[in-house]
Each structure stands twice: as C-alpha cells, then as structure tokens.
Amino acid sequence: MNPPANQPTPRGAGLAGRLLVAQTLVLLTGGLTAWLIAANVGPSLFHEHLARANVGSTPAQIAHTEMAYQSANAISLSLALLVALVAALGISVYQTRRIGRSVTTIANAASNVAGGHYDIRVPGPGLGPEFDALAAAFNQMADRLGSVERTRRRLLADLGHEMRTPVATLEAYIEALEDGVVTLDPGTAELLRSQTRRLARLSEDIGTVSRTEEGQVRLDLRTVHPEPVITAAVGSVSEAYQTKGVRLVTDIAAGLPELSLDPERIGQVLGNLLDNALRHTPAGGTVTISAAASAGTGGAELSVADTGDGIPAEHLPHVFERFYRVDTARDRAHGGSGIGLAIAKALVEAQGGQLTVTSPGIGAGSTFQILLPRR
C-alpha cells in the first residue's frame, strides 16, 4: 500500500548510520578473528616452548603453568580488544557523523536550490579532495543556475519593455481610428506597418537566437571565398550609411583563403554588426569592415570597427547577452531588437568560429572581430 501523498516516504537508515554499522561489523569481525586465533594457536605454541625449555617437573606443574598462561592471555587479550574496539568505535562515530553532516548539508542545499534559492553555498568539508570537489561543483552549479535565473528575469523584463511601445502605439491608433480622431491615411498606415514589423522582427530574432544556441539552426556549409560575402553585406547597408552620413570603408587584404561556411548566415552576422555600428556611430563618423588571413589558424579574421560611442570595460563581457544594454553604447533610443549581437555570436560559433569585441572606452569606438577557422 502506497503512503499518502502528504506524508514523506519512509526511509531506511541514513548514510552515517549505515557507515557506522558497517565499521562496527568490521571491528567485531576483526576482534573475533583475533580472539579465535589467539585462543587456538597460542596455547599449543606455549606448550611446545615449555617442553623445549623443560619447565615443570610434573604434569600437574605443566598443566598449572598452561592454565596461568591461558588466563593471563584471555584477560590481556580481552582488555586489549575492548579498548581497541571502544577507540575504533569512537573514531568511527566521529568520522561517520562528519560524513553524514556533509552529505546532509549538500542535500539541504540542493533542496534550497530546487526551491529557487540560488545564493546557497556549501563549505568544503575537509574530508578529502573528493568531497571538496563535490562541494566546489555544487557551488559552481548553484552560481550558474543563479546567473541563468537572473538572465531569464532580465530577458522577460526587457522583452516586455520591447513589446510595450509598439503594442501601446498600435492600441492607441486603433482606438483613435475607431473614434474617428484620425483617418487611415498613408502616413498612419505606414506607422502601423512599422510597429507590426518591429514586433515581427522581435519575434523572429528571438526564435533565431534560441534555435541557434540550441544547435537547431540549419547551416548550408560551402567552400567559398569571403570577399563576395563581405561585398554583399556592405552593399545591403550602403544606402543607410549614406542617409545617416556615416562613412563606410572596406579593407580586404589579398590572399584570403577559401573557407567552409554558410555564406547567407555569415552575411547575416556581418549585416547585424554593420547595423549595430551604424546605430552607435554619429554622422561624420567612420565604420571600417576589414578582412585578412589568420596566420595562426589558416582561416580568416573579419572585423567591423567604428568611431562611435564605445563600450566601458565593465560592460564588455555582457555585450553578447540577450537584451543587454549599456547606457551609451546600447541604449534603446538607438533602436534594434536588442539581440542582434547575440544572434551574431551564436551563428559564428555554430560554424566553429569566434566573435569577440574590444573597445578603448566611452567615445572611443569599438571593434567586433570574427575569427573563422579553415576547415
């Protein structure tokens, strides 16, 4: 019969209890073995030595001597085994309690983590490298889960913020159209379309970065030369750069190797980086896209450098996180869905490459570098 759902399932003895029982059995077995060996082997050896030494002139004297030995041997051996058993049991109790407390501490901490308390940490029990490694791994897991939870909360908050503006705009204009306050003229229709496109782009970007990070994005890997891919990406944004008054410079070194990559996805990465650079570079600034062979890997290094806002050093490790924004370098006023760089990094890594960013600081621009190995 199963126990009621609201009652804990009965358990057997804990780890500490089982260890103590096991060690007690070992000690009792060892003591009994020592007793049996001493009781059976000792008297015969003692009798043999008496005979060799000619101790005792009569059988009665020899029997009395042997009885004295057996009595002394039994008393001393019993006392020795009893003291050894008590000492060993004391040490065993101490050790098993330490082990039990350590396991209980980790179990309770795991329960707290399961309940959403990710700030729980367990100290090293000092019971050897294995237990210390277990505690360190648990603390690392809790820290990682806490980081994931913080990112999730921030993502949901930022996602709500990103959706709030277009949704509020659409709702306001629809109510105004229903009330006859505004008419559906070309300007109003274009505004409504722009807000729906913004929501559609946000939905598509979230789906893209999720599929890419989970390894579910399809890649059409082909052996291609990087130059046409770069040229196509530059051509797709040239008009936007001219409209804003930002100079776009292309610097492609000779001798680039052919690479195994998905040209459409790399083009998407370059497009995201160029769009990001344009948003954060004021009119009159310069964005340079360059490519050169990588001596270390035999592949190629592509970079997009701008003379724009720059990124403070403390924010550089978080630039590729979803919806992460810096007051100057990634402010919402610049537009964008907030996850373009996350998509770019995921797509580059899916093709075996690396995407990194450097910046001297605020107002000094930034450089995004793509390292594509030759495969």
More confident residue, 89 or 333: 89
At the topology level, CATH places domain 222-372 in Heat Shock Protein 90 (3.30.565)
* pLDDT range class, residue 41, cuts 50, 70, 90: low
pLDDT for 370: 93
Residues 334-351 have pLDDT tens digits of 545 567 788 888 888 888
CATH code linked to domain 153-213: 1.10.287.130
More confident residue, 258 or 76: 258
* pLDDT range class, residue 320, cuts 50, 70, 90: confident
pTM of the model: 0.53
Instruction: Give the CA count within 13 Å in the CB-facing half-sphere of 141.
Output: 14
Topology alike, domains 153-213 and 222-372:
no
pLDDT for 283: 92
Model confidence at 147: pLDDT above 80: no
Cα 246 to Cα 302, 336, 366, 369, distances in angstroms: 20, 18, 15, 20
Across the range 192-215, mean pLDDT stands at 72
Instruction: Report the mean per-residue pLDDT for the chain.
Output: 77
Q: At what angle do helices 186-213 and 340-350 cross, to 10 degrees?
A: 40
Q: Where are the domains of the chain?
A: 15-117, 153-213, 222-372
Residues 209-236 have pLDDT tens digits of 666 666 666 778 888 898 999 999 998 8
Which span out of 58-72, 96-110, 151-165 was modeled with the highest average pLDDT? 96-110
Residues 238-293 have pLDDT tens digits of 888 999 999 999 999 988 888 888 888 898 899 889 988 998 899 999 999 999 98
Three-state SS string over 268-329 comes to: HHHHHHHHHHHHCCCCCCEEEEEEEECCCCCCEEEEEEECCCCCCHHHHHHCCCCCCCCCCC
* pLDDT range class, residue 9, cuts 50, 70, 90: very low
Whole-angstrom distance, CA of residue 49 vs CA of residue 56: 12
pLDDT for 38: 67
Model confidence at 190: pLDDT above 90: no
Q: At what angle do helices 129-179 and 59-114 cross, to 10 degrees?
A: 20
